Amino acid sequence: MTYAFPPAWIPSLPIRGASEEFPVRRVYCVGRNYAEHAVEMGHDPDKEPPFFFQKNPDNLVLGAEFPYPGATKDVHHEIELVVALSGGGTDIAVEAALEHAFGYAVGLDMTRRDLQAGAKKLGRPWEVAKAFEKSAPITEIVPATAIGHPASGAITLSVNGELRQAGDLSQMIWKTAEIIAHLSALFELAPGDLIMTGTPAGVGPVARGDRLEGSVEGVGRLAVAVV
């Protein structure tokens, strides 16, 4: 096989305690999966089934810096638990879903909120708001064999030492196994897929010079400087 130009590199993430890395195939994101966040975004969490959008694998960044993007004046932070899959398929049963979870990470779904608001108003897709370069800072993946499958625990984010987001994984409207099962009814999941599971209330803007510190209890911590 020859190509017209060199093929793109395969994005990958380090795995805690392992020499090999986790190759990333797709990045799925769950929208409004914490009740208080759904409310702060103007929605009723009791009436909405889960919905999904995607970021690109090359949006992931392990570095400690988040470059403030262009074409926006309102970038928001969203701290999330990330699920990394080592299995997949379609129509996965909830009872079997966690068998496909390889491990977990802490991630940020950085969002150009003004562009998202404009897209919502016009009924357009969200890619310009969600899938821009380095929009998904993330930690290493921690294997489930080491920590199990987190169902509760604090999820927080501070900006310049001030607590902005604080919740608990137990507050997720759709739990990890349910997310995997529901997503597999819409897409054929596969090893290498990541799922960002939603963010608690308290999302807000960032500015150049800000320092973001996020954590998910039992999984890890993430520190990012906005440049």
Query: Looking at the domain assignment, is residue 43 inside a domain?
Result: yes
Task: Give the helix/strand (H/E) hosting 102.
Answer: strand 101-108
Asked, for residue 153, whether it belongs to a domain, the answer is yes
In a domain, 194, yes or no: yes
pLDDT band at 39 (very low <50, low <70, confident <90, very high): low
- Using one digit for the tens of pLDDT, what is the confidence trace for 42-95? 676 675 788 999 999 999 999 789 999 999 999 999 999 999 999 999 999 999
pLDDT, residue 146, reads 98
220 inside domain: yes
Helix boundaries (H) for the chain = 35-40, 94-97, 113-122, 127-130, 144-147, 176-184
**CATH of residue 132:** 3.90.850.10
- pTM value > 0.85: yes
Distance CA 155, CA 216 (A): 4
pLDDT of residue 47: 58
The reply to whether 56 falls in a domain is: yes
The pLDDT > 90 percentage for the chain reads 90
Domain count of the chain?
1
Residue 2 lies in a domain: no
Residue 108's domain comprises 12-226
Query: Average of pLDDT values for 168-197?
Result: 97
- Asked whether residue 7 is assigned to any structural domain, the reply reads no
| Helix H or strand E segment including 165 | strand 162-168
Does residue 6 lie within any of the structural domains? no
Task: Give the pLDDT score at 41.
Answer: 64
